[in-house]
Structure formats: structure tokens, C-alpha cells
Amino acid sequence: MWDFGFGKALALMACSRPRKGSRSLIRPHLLTWLLALAFSPFMAGPAVAQDDLAWHGSVEESSAALFYGIPGTDYGPLSFTCSREGDGLTFTYIHEPIEAYDGVEVEVLLQAGDIEVPIRTFGWRLALDDTFVLEGKAELDDRLIDLLTSRGMLFVFVGDGVEEFPLEGAREAAAPLIETCRGQEIAPEAADVRMCDISAWFNGTGPEELDIRAAPRPDAPVIGSMPPPYRVQDFTFKTEMEISGFKQGWFRISQAFVIDYIFDEETKVVFNGEGWVQGDHLGLLINHRYLYEKPSSDAMVVADLSKIDERAGPDSFAVQRLHACAGSWVEVEGHLFSRHHRGWTRGTCSNQVTTCP
């Protein structure tokens, strides 16, 4: 369940602003859903009763949402959101599968009557309250619209079970979503993207290395650029970024910014929106002692960074590049003194002056 009311939504908005050593806790389309829950006019009382559960729709200047739950409370397990930019529908389902690790791929099947809509999702754990989220993309086509506007019961199947949601009221609540995003196809760059929630810094120096592209491919249009590393007194600092997704060697960023660690001036945002950069020139700070074979604490340990050299620990590991990410996990490659390693870890950050929290 979500533990988000009015106050927590405001707290999340505050968290989304870059500060020293901090990063956004949630991606934009999830924040849209949370704000819909928090600010909907259908405010419920403090008790969460089954009779109070209902479908609600909302529309903002740049997005629309349909969700099942109780606005203003901590319950909202199912949502559909979209933006006017036309990158398809985002489906979000609060459910912890049997194999619940960041980056797990789960097929969710929606069924109402004889209508079936499969959605490929990826899972990740929300660090704020340990909630596990399944998230995927879909096209708001006639079939999905027919499903959402059906009567009777919506069945949500995953590999290990099924959950039922009554569709009473969904037809009316879905109207803003349908009007805003009907027929939107999934943008190629949005398909098969693994969701991530990490921050990193940028090591690139050459002109092409600094480019931010519109899609995860080298011939995509350039929509921005990163400032190169810069010197302040005797220190070198790098541009930092929020990473929200990964696809085939490319990392999707939602914001890039320059933090003044010396004079504590206001953080300078150099890119806002959605762009793609390659992992060859990305780095970050590690604060977890182990590197794993897979993005799971139960996976085989490939390196213990606390035992490689008694002079240093995980934060001395020099990350040369990022290979992939999933939720709060990231696959890194680098070295600690003369030892070269590659593996998955979590507990990372982009802070350039101290260790991660």
C-alpha cells in the first residue's frame, strides 16, 4: 500500500529538487499519480473501508491519470497515467511477486469479461516505505479502453495469483485519460526500458561524449549537452544527473545539475526533461561492501570491497563505467587499486565530497 497523503506528496515534491548529496525519490509519472491521490477533490476520511474504494480520474496541464483507491489516504494499488507528449500509457501495480528483486520482469494480465490485455512490467522497491512496484508501458488502444470501460470485475493476474477490482465507476473516471491519451503508441525509446532510481556523475570531456540524445541510439537528435568537469580552487567536480531508466547500454536521465560544493551557491539545473546518455562515461560513489552477480542480495558475491585492501573500503572503488541499472541497483565496472571488478551493487550516490548516506 502507498503511505501518501497531502503532506507526503508535498514532501516528495521537495525531495525532487536537487540538493547536495540528494536525489529525487520518485519519477515524474509516479509523482503525477501520487499528486492525484493527494489532491483529488474526492477526499476520504481516515478509515480505509472496502466500501470507500473507487475509481478516480484526474487531468493536469500535461498529464492524465486513472487510479483505483481512496484519494488522500494510503491506499491506491492500481493506476494508469499518461502525458500529452505521447509516449504511451504507464501502468503501475502495487504487488510483490514471489521473486521480488529490483529489475525483475513480470507479465501482468488484465482481464474483464472476454477482453484480455497483457502488459510487460519491471519491478522495483520504493526505498521510502519498502513498497514493491510493478510498472510497464501499454498503448491506450480500443481494446484497453473497452476493458477499462467494461462492467463487472477487473481481474489482474500475475504468475503467483490474481486480484479482483470492481469496475463500477471506472467508465466515468476513465474519461479524462481516454480523452487525453487515446491512441497514443508506445514510443520506441520507451519500450523495454528497465526502470531505475539512481544518481550518477558525468566523466565525459569530448564534444560527442557530452551530448544528451532524444532516444537510446547514437544517431538520435541531440537535445542537450553536459558541462564538462570543472575546477574550483584545487578540486575537480562533475555534472550530476538523475537516472530513471536503462535500455541497451543507454541511461535515461530526467535532470542534470551542477552543485556548488565549495561556496554553497544555488544548484544550477542544466537539463530538465527526458534524455539519454551512454554508460561509458558515467560514474558514482559506492557505499556497499559487496558486488553481486545479479541485482539481488541473495545472488553470488563477486567481490568484497572491504577486504581487497586494508587501506580502503567501498567508497575508494573507482567506477569507470555503468553497464545497467534496475531500481536502486546498478551494474558497475572499475578498480580498487590494482584489482578490476564488475558487478551489481546498491547504496550508491553521486555525492562528490562525502560518503553516501
Residue 286 lies in a domain: yes
If asked whether residues 152 and 288 sit together in one domain, one would say no
If asked whether residues 25 and 131 sit together in one domain, one would say yes
- On whether the CB atoms of residues 40 and 57 are closer than 8 A, the answer is no
pLDDT value of residue 50: 56
- On whether the CB atoms of residues 121 and 108 are closer than 8 A, the answer is yes
Residue closest to 240 by CA, chosen among 274, 276, 269? 269
If asked whether residues 88 and 165 sit together in one domain, one would say yes
pLDDT value of residue 51: 56
Burial of 134 (0-12, 13-18, 19+ CB in 10 A): buried
If asked whether residues 48 and 138 sit together in one domain, one would say yes
pLDDT value of residue 22: 41
Residue 356 lies in a domain: no
Residue 176 lies in a domain: yes
**Single pTM value for the model:** 0.69
pLDDT value of residue 317: 92
Last residue of a domain, one of 186, 209, 235: 186
The rounded distance, in Å, linking the Cα atoms of 74 and 131 is 12
Per-residue pLDDT of the chain (357 residues; tens, 9 = 90+): 333 333 333 233 333 334 443 433 344 445 444 544 444 443 333 444 555 789 999 888 888 999 999 877 767 899 999 988 777 899 999 999 988 888 888 999 999 999 999 999 999 887 667 889 999 999 999 999 999 999 999 999 998 789 999 999 999 999 999 999 888 777 777 778 888 889 999 988 877 788 999 999 999 999 999 999 988 888 999 999 999 999 999 999 999 999 999 988 899 999 998 899 999 999 999 999 999 999 888 899 999 998 877 777 899 999 999 999 998 899 999 998 888 999 999 989 999 998 887
pLDDT value of residue 74: 64
- DSSP lists the bridge partners of residue 245 as 195, 252
If asked whether residues 46 and 95 sit together in one domain, one would say yes
- On whether the CB atoms of residues 155 and 110 are closer than 8 A, the answer is yes
pLDDT value of residue 192: 80
If asked whether residues 248 and 154 sit together in one domain, one would say no
Last residue of a domain, one of 134, 161, 186: 186
Q: Domain limits at 41?
A: 6-186
Last residue of a domain, one of 186, 216, 241: 186
pLDDT value of residue 64: 93
If asked whether residues 234 and 319 sit together in one domain, one would say yes
Residue 264 lies in a domain: yes
Q: Which residues contact 85 (CB under 8 A, 6 or more apart)?
A: 62
- Residue 241 to residues 17, 31, 90, 200, 250, Cα–Cα distance (Å): 12, 18, 23, 6, 14
